[in-house]
Structures are given as C-alpha cells and as structure tokens.
Amino acid sequence: MTNKEYAEVVLRELTHTLTRIDSEQAEKFVELVDGAKEVFCAGAGRSGFEIKGFAMRLMHMGIASYVVGETCTPNIDENGVLVICSGSGSTKSLVNHAQKAKEVGAKIALITINSESPIAKLADVVVEISAPSPKSAKQGDIKSIQPMGSLFEQSEGTFMDIAIMMLMERRHMDSDTMFGRHANME
C-alpha cells in the first residue's frame, strides 16, 4: 500500500472509533474537568504521552493541571479530578492512582477500551473507545491494520483534543487567548 492508501484506512478507522464515543459520557467528561479545582492526568506508555498533551492544553486554558509522577505534582484532594488513559483499565500503577484518588474523595474520569475494568469500577465517568489492543480483554468492534494499540492511542488523543474544544466553547476561549500561556522558554 502507498502512504496515501494507509492514510485513508487510518482515517476511516479513526472516524469509526471517534463517532462511536457516547456523547453523554463525553459531555460528562467535559463537565467533570470543567468543574475541577485541579486536574491530575495519568497514563502509561503511549497513553502517557497522549495524556501529557491533554495536561498541556488544560494549562493553556488556565486550568490547574498536573501529570501524575512528575516531581512538581501536588497531592490530590476532594476537589481534584484524576483523568486516566488506559486501554486495558487494569494497569497496576494506574489502578493504585485511582484507588488513592477515591480514598481522598477526588473524582475519576477514565478513557479506556474496557468499561468493565478495575479502574472503570472506581470511575465517575468512563469514556469508552471501541478499538483493539493486545493488553485489553475487550477488543472493540473494529479490526485495525495498525500495530498493537495504535488506534486506541490515536483515538484517545483526538478525543481529548475534542474535549479541549468543547471546554474552549464553554469558556468562550480561542487559540489566541490560549496562546498567551504557551511556553516562552523553548
């Protein structure tokens, strides 16, 4: 296949996963993040890379956001929201983060393939992405040509960008207002 043919297939796969996300859960996700005093973001592997991009965009919006595990991340309390990206929903370190957040009364939002996972059972909001992954017991309703969990990881990143756009609309913000918080020590 050519690069253009691959691109067409990948875009069809992304359209499939993103248009099947439950709109009610997406709205609840945005409401939860919008109402939080602080947003803590956690993920492992490639999902960890995706969630860092989400934390950055929240910061650009003026929302206090942190990446779990970074040295300058404060403690979470009952006013915080923990956003976890985990295809399987059962990564041990992320389960531990969810349990700790629940202990202190924080809210939990999970982006996952598996809505029956240990983290999903603790979560206040579960955004399910129907994509395959070798680590998830649940495989979604599409077979991807992409390796391993790539479709899920791309879909979660794009969903979080969509959530940012929904937040921007709620807060009457645009890219120009957000750019004022862009890093100036690059």
pLDDT at 148: 84
Positions marked active-site: 153
Flag residues of the chain having pLDDT under 50: none
**What are the structural domain ranges in the chain?**
3-179
Q: Is 140 exposed, middle or buried, given 0-12, 13-18 or 19+ CB atoms closer than 10 A?
A: buried
Q: Which CATH class is domain 3-179?
A: alpha beta
Q: Is 14 exposed, middle or buried, given 0-12, 13-18 or 19+ CB atoms closer than 10 A?
A: middle
Q: What is the DSSP string of the chain?
A: --HHHHHHHHHHHHHHHHHTS-HHHHHHHHHHHHT-SEEEEEE-HHHHHHHHHHHHHHHHTT--EEETTSTT-----TTEEEEEE-SSS--HHHHHHHHHHHHTT-EEEEEES-TTSHHHHH-SEEEE-----TT-S---S---SSSTTHHHHHHHHHHHHHHHHHHHHHTT--HHHHHTTS-S--
pLDDT at 156: 96
Both tokens assigned to 81: 């929201």
pTM of the entire predicted model: 0.92
- pLDDT tens digits for range 125-152: 999 999 876 665 555 667 887 888 899 9
pLDDT at 66: 98
pLDDT at 138: 58
pLDDT at 134: 64
